[in-house]
Structure 1
Amino acid sequence: MKNVWLIFILIILGCGQQDTSNIDTTTSSKTDLQWQGVYHGIFPCPSCDGMDTTLELIKPNKYTIYTVRLGTDNIPFQGSGTFKWDKTGNIIILDRGHIYRVYSDHLYLLDVKSRQIKGPDAQRYRVNKIQALDQQTTTTE
């Protein structure tokens, strides 16, 4: 009977503990990815046909953004500023308030609580990295 209780106590104690020896806290999008570059996509817009958005991330923590409201006046907006990384190093917050999760080849626009937007339009909150611009090289002869 003592062995049953001992096993029961060991199971209870072991179930609540997480093995943290394999968690690498030094990895993040900020340190592991080539996040700088140009991203493009069309975000949903309730009063237009979409927000055509081009966002460039520049080291160390700068950005430029260019947006056009499709299907309306088509007057472009261009801005620039700085961004900061959250404590995980996976999310950036633009000084104008937009929040993005950073992946290797795209960014996701997040809601105000830094959560990914759900629903049928969820994939429309993604801007893809434009590889051609990042890999473009010029040579002079």
Structure 2
Amino acid sequence: MKTLVRRSLKFTLTAAVVAVLIMSCVQTGKNRSKQAKVIDGHTSEISLDWAGIYSGILPCADCEGIETELILNEDGTYVLTTEYLGKRISFGDTIQGKFTWQGNNVHLEGIPKHERSSFFKVEENQVRYLDVEGNVVTGVLENHYILKKEGNILVEDKRWHLIELNGHKVEGTADTHFLIFDSKERKAQAKVNCNIILLSYKIKNELMLSFGPGATTMMACPDTLEDEYLRVLEMVDNLSTDGKTLSLNKARMAPLARFELAE
């Protein structure tokens, strides 16, 4: 009888120890999972608004520089465009493909390793071009291997009410006289109580602005204000803003157009 009691007690203790060990392993696994999630939350992929267009001029051994534009899309695809500056014969290329994340770096697939590096480190509002092994380029040119993110969050995806053009007050409302920068489409929409004007645009270093080709509807306008507005948009090369007002400028001249944020 004593033998049976001892065996039963021994079995109970063994089962209890096993249960404790299992619970400990489960808890450890949960803790590790939580730690992994915390670590992942600090990667550029998770913590930064990385999708967008990055541009700049990278160092070049036998030319004036490599004008570079990198587009990173939310669907994991990229477009890399380069142009070698100062060459007698213009040279450049455009490569498209998919990219993968490796920590805080992105690897552009489809670029042969012997041709150029396929690695960029994603940082706040910029990407850093890395060497062929995925390491930061050090030395005096270290900070020249950076492409800045295009755009300006204070300006884009808002409706701006045109209140002044070439120093003259403009009469109208935010529905009839406006300018909108669409950050996803990279198109600006403008109107001065007549046609809808659609223009491509670029904002570099947050303040450098240029408008490209566009199109308009074909209504006959009652005055010349639209033509004046178009000429101004063709001239501007920079902007200034405090988030509530916007000025479009040419060099250091007086503002060509002034806007207020439409509430």
Normalising to structure 2: TM-score of the pair?
0.42
1:36 aligns with 2:51: yes
Q: How far apart are 1:120 and its partner, in Å?
A: 0.6
Q: 1:92 aligns with which of 106, 115, 119?
A: 106
> Which segment is superposed worse, 67-76 or 52-61?
67-76
Q: How far apart are 1:22 and its partner, in Å?
A: 8.5
**Would you say how many aligned residue pairs link Structure 1 and Structure 2?**
120
Q: How far apart are 1:116 and its partner, in Å?
A: 0.8
Indicate the RMSD between aligned Cα atoms, in angstroms: 2.5
Aligned-partner Cα distance in 1 for 2:40–2:121: 17
Q: What residue identity is the alignment partner of 2:97?
A: G
Q: What residue identity is the alignment partner of 1:64?
A: V
Query: 2:96 maps to which residue?
Result: 80
- Indicate the percent of aligned positions where both proteins have the same amino acid: 25
Query: 1:6 maps to which residue?
Result: none
Residues 96-135 of structure 1 mapped to structure 2, 5 A cutoff = 96=111, 97-132=117-152, 135=156
Higher share in strand: 2
Aligned-partner Cα distance in 2 for 1:111–1:105: 20
Q: SS at the partner of 2:144?
A: helix
Aligned-partner Cα distance in 2 for 1:55–1:94: 10
Can you give the 5+ residue segments of structure 2 that lack an aligned partner in the other structure?
A: 1-33, 112-116, 157-180, 183-187, 191-195, 197-263
Can you give the 5+ residue segments of structure 1 that lack an aligned partner in the other structure?
A: 1-20
Write out per-residue CA displacement over residues 52-90 of structure 1, whole angstroms, 9 at most, x where no aligned residue: 00111011210111111000022331121111101x2x1
Q: How far apart are 1:98 and its partner, in Å?
A: 1.1
Following superposition, which runs of at least 4 residues in structure 1 exceed 4 angstroms of deviation?
A: 138-141
Q: How far apart are 1:47 and its partner, in Å?
A: 1.4
Bigger relative CO (Cα 8 Å, ≥ 6 apart): 1
Q: What residue identity is the alignment partner of 2:129?
A: L
